[in-house]
């Protein structure tokens, strides 16, 4: 059998994998041990094939860890058929259980899986959205993800990004919940709420996956009440990630929807949270969880439990591109996360993302991820960029 332009559809063999850590403009994260600009927290991945097609992905991990992880995974993936992303990714999961499943290797598999879907799309001439289920929509609302700050600064930030066209915002981390000052927490939320454009949405992220998170269930219950009074759309990461019992209680008692799951990896980790009713909104990160193959299964599984899916997208332009494709392929996705002011989102592509007049992002209906990296722009932030493109 033959595909486009007479290409054989039997196999496209993987020849090598390249890793390029991003450094120089790493965005602040609001963490206790704050990210510095030259810290590596994301890496770009390229999968090269004997057909001359290269797929691109992104992994959320320190670049040296990704490079080391790829040395483990490369013998399992070189020579494999790049046109079978789900099978190949599952092979990688199945053969690395004993090395520490769910950690660095799973993050690395995430980037590889995204790249394999990109190759499949480029080979067939179809967007990932069409390959993964069809296109329910051709655009989606991005919410601008911002760190919390003092009330006056927070209001100015919201106003500035509103002028850029954003109509939905998530504010998080920073001082919120970390100063034992309930009045400050509320003042930040009030300031952000006042600065929203007409009809704008506001979400709040406590960031309780930070080191030594100081608050528990009683704080989360009280804060959820405050957020409900300010018409906040959801309360994200209000508890430490493993506190499943408290999540169940909080979701049952809270008037505002409860969101979480960004640090969980592999679909199996989400099952107990879904079965016990811990979340209103589940937030896997495509660059951590196992890639598009796992993300899609988690989103569909969540829907079966009546739980909404909104991907966690605090990563790179390739992560956002993957989230956009999945937003097209699933029936009930209305938001994607967009980091405000990140060079790794705004400044590495040949054609940067652009909001339309209604503050929405178009979902590319082009082969694969539907976006292209700009080698010169990537090289500004990745000393090892050359291996991605040659």
For residues 70 and 193, membership in a common domain is answered with no
For residues 119 and 135, membership in a common domain is answered with no
For residues 234 and 272, membership in a common domain is answered with yes
For residues 138 and 73, membership in a common domain is answered with no
Task: Give which of 319, 378, 346, 351 is closest to 166, Cα–Cα.
Answer: 346
CATH, residue 113: 3.30.390.10
17-45 per-position pLDDT tens digit: 999 999 999 999 888 888 999 999 999 99
For residues 52 and 76, membership in a common domain is answered with yes
CATH, residue 293: 3.20.20.120
234-264 per-position pLDDT tens digit: 999 999 999 999 999 999 999 999 999 999 9
Reduced to 3 states (helix: H, G, I; strand: E, B; else coil), residue 124 is: helix
Contact 338, 320 (CB under 8 A): yes
Query: What value does the mean pLDDT of the chain take?
Result: 95
DSSP, residue by residue, 255-299: SS-EEE-TT--SGGGGHHHHHTT--SEE--BTTTTTSHHHHHHHH
Give the rounded percent of residues in the chain with a pLDDT score beyond 70.
Answer: 98
* Residue 8: pLDDT over 70: no
pTM: 0.96
Q: How far apart are CA 336 and CA 164, in angstroms?
A: 17
For residues 213 and 230, membership in a common domain is answered with yes
* Residue 15: pLDDT over 80: yes
DSSP, residue by residue, 64-102: HHHHHHHHHHHHHHTTSBTT-HHHHHHHHHHTSGGGTTT
Task: State which residues form the domain around 42.
Answer: 4-126+376-389
pLDDT confidence tier of residue 159, bands split at 50, 70 and 90: very high
103 CB burial (10 A radius; 0-12, 13-18, 19+): middle
């Amino acid at each position: 059998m033959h595909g486009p332009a007479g290409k054989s559809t039997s196999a496209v063999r993987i020849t090598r994998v390249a890793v390029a850590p991003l450094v120089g403009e790493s965005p602040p994260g609001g963490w206790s041990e704050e990210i510095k600009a030259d810290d590596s927290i994301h890496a770009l991945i390229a999968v090269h094939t004997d057909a001359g097609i290269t797929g691109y992905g992104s992994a959320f991990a320190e670049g040296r860890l990704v490079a080391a992880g790829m040395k483990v995974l490369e013998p399992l993936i070189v020579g494999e058929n790049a046109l079978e992303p789900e099978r190949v990714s599952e092979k990688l999961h199945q053969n690395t259980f004993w090395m520490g499943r769910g950690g660095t290797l799973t993050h690395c598999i995430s980037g590889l899986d995204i790249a394999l879907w990109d190759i499949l799309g480029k080979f067939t001439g179809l967007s990932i959205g069409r390959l993964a289920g069809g296109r329910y929509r051709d655009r989606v609302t991005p919410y601008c993800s911002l760190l919390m700050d003092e009330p006056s600064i927070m209001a100015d930030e919201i106003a500035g990004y509103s002028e850029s066209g954003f109509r939905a915002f998530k504010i998080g981390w920073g001082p919120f919940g970390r100063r034992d000052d309930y009045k400050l927490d509320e003042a930040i939320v009030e300031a952000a709420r006042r600065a929203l454009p007409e009809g704008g949405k506001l979400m709040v992220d406590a960031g309780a996956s930070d080191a030594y998170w100081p608050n528990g269930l009683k704080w989360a219950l009280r804060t959820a009440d405050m957020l409900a009074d300010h018409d906040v759309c959801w309360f994200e990461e209000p508890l430490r990630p493993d506190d499943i019992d408290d999540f169940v209680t909080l979701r049952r008692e809270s008037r505002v929807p409860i969101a979480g799951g960004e640090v969980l990896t592999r679909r199996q980790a989400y099952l107990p949270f879904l079965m016990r009713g811990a979340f209103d909104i589940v937030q896997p990160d495509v660059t951590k969880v196992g890639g598009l193959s796992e993300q899609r299964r988690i989103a569909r599984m969540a829907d079966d439990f009546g739980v909404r899916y909104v991907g966690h997208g605090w990563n790179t332009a390739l992560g956002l591109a993957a989230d956009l494709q999945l937003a097209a392929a699933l029936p009930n996705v209305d938001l994607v996360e967009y980091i405000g002011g990140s060079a790794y989102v705004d400044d590495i592509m040949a054609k940067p993302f652009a909001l339309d007049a209604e503050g929405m992002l178009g979902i590319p209906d082009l082969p694969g991820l539907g976006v292209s990296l700009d080698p010169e722009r990537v090289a500004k932030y990745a000393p090892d960029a050359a291996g991605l493109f040659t």
